[in-house]
Amino acid sequence: MQHELYRAIGLPVLQNRTFANAEQAQASGSADIVLVQDSQNGLIFNQAFDASKLSYDVDYQSEQAHSVQFQQHLNDVEAILAHHFKGKSLIEVGCGKGYFLEMLRGLGYAITGIDPSYEGDNTEVIKAPFTRELGLAAEAIVLRHVLEHISDPVSFLAEIASANHGGQIYIEVPCFDWIVEHNAWFDVFYEHVNYFRLADLRAMFGTVHEAGHLFGGQYLYIVADLSTLRRTPAEAPSLLTLSEHFTASLDRAAQIIQTAPEQGSAIWGASSKGVIYSLFLQRAGVAVDRVVDINPVKQGRYLPLSGVRVSSPQEAMDALPEGANLFVMNSNYLEEIERMTGGRYVYHAVDSASFQ
C-alpha cells in the first residue's frame, strides 16, 4: 500500500543538464513527480518516474567540488572510508566526472570508477552504467549519490552484491528527513526517484558498521556488509506526512522580490536546488535578475525549462546593486558566499527556519 506525500508538475527531466541557448533550454524535457511512501518497507519514491526519459552525457554537470565548503565535505567522507576501507581495493559506482575518485587515488587508494558521464582520460574509469557483465569486483564499493537515481534500489544493491561476491559498501544519499524538517521542496527532483531516511537505509542491511549524517545533515551515509542486504525490514517502518507549509518559502521569496523590484535579486546556486527554485519563481510570475554559480562549466549556459542564463559571481557582482536580495540555495555555503561578495547584499538562506 502507498500513500501520496507530494506532487509537482512539469519539472526538468535532468535538472543538472545545461544548454547552449535559451531556446534549447526551454524546449528541454519535463516530467511529473508523484511522491509516495510504501507502507511495507517505508521507502519513498516517485510513482510517476520513467527511467527511459533520462540520458546522461557530457552536458550533464553536477560537480560541486569548486566550493571550499564541499571540498571539506569530501574530506569528511574520505575520513570515513579510511577508517573502514584503507588498504582495500575499491570500485566507485557512479563516479561522475571523477573528482572524488582522483582525490582518493592521490591519497593512495586502489580504485576503479564506473560512470557513463565521465569525461576524463583515466583508463581506470569505465564509461558505462554498472552491470554485472562488466565482471568487476573489489573488497568495497563506494556509492555516492547514485541510489536516489535507481528505480529499484534494493534490486540494484542485490546486483552489486552478487557481482561483487559480497564485500562492504559505503552509501551516501540526500537525507529526506532533512528535506522534511527544512521544508526544502526544491530538493525534490524528477531525476531522484528515491528519497531515503536513515532508518530506512539501515533497515536494508543486517550488518551496519557505521551510519550517520554529513554536510550539515543534508546527506546521510551508511557503511554496511553487502552480503547482509535484505529486501524487507525486520520492523514496520514509520509513516510520514509533510507540513502544510512545505512550499511556503516560494511565497516568501516572491513577496520579497515584488515588494522592492528595483532593489535587484539573484539566486546563488545553479545546481539542482537553484534550477527548481528559479523555475517555480518564474512560473509564479516573479523572476530574479540573475542565477549565479561558481562552476565555470555552467557559466554562460542556460538552465532547463526556465531558460535562465547562469552568471559567474563576478558578472553578478558587477551587475547587482549593493543591498540586492541574494537567495542562497544552500545554507552550507552562506558564509562562503558572504565572504566572496564582501557582505554587500541582503542574504536569504531559503532552507533556514527563519525563511519559512
Q: How many C-beta atoms lie closer than 10 Å to residue 297's C-beta?
A: 16
Separation in Å, CA 85 to CA 146, 198, 228, 307:
19, 21, 18, 43
CB 189 within 8 A of CB 128: no
Query: Does residue 243 lie in a domain region?
Result: no
- Same domain, yes or no: 75 and 164: yes
Query: Does residue 255 lie in a domain region?
Result: yes
- Same domain, yes or no: 151 and 48: no
Residue at which a domain ends, from 177, 195, 227: 227
pLDDT truncated to tens, each residue of the chain (356 aa)? Answer: 899 999 999 999 998 899 999 999 999 999 999 999 999 889 999 999 998 888 765 555 555 555 788 889 999 999 999 999 999 999 999 998 899 999 999 999 999 999 988 888 889 999 988 888 898 899 999 999 999 999 999 999 999 999 999 999 999 999 999 999 999 999 999 999 999 999 999 999 999 999 999 999 999 999 999 999 998 888 888 899 999 999 999 999 999 999 999 999 999 999 999 999 999 999 999 989 999 999 999 999 999 999 999 999 999 999 999 999 999 999 999 999 999 999 999 999 999 988 87
Separation in Å, CA 137 to CA 93, 124, 165:
11, 13, 7
Q: Residue 298 sits in a domain of what CATH number?
A: 3.40.50.720
- Same domain, yes or no: 75 and 49: no
Full-model pTM: 0.90
- Same domain, yes or no: 115 and 255: no
Query: Does residue 109 lie in a domain region?
Result: yes
CB 12 within 8 A of CB 29: yes
Separation in Å, CA 139 to CA 65, 108, 200, 206:
26, 15, 24, 18
Closest C-alpha to 25, from 281, 325, 295, 278:
278
Q: What residue spans of 167-294 are helical by DSSP H? A: 176-181, 198-202, 248-259, 272-283
All three cell numbers of 3, joined, read 500513500
For residue 117, which phi and psi values (nearest 5 degrees)?
A: -95, 5
Query: 92: domain range?
Result: 69-227
- Same domain, yes or no: 184 and 260: no
Query: Does residue 312 lie in a domain region?
Result: yes
Angle at 234 between CA 190 and CA 189, to 5 degrees: 5
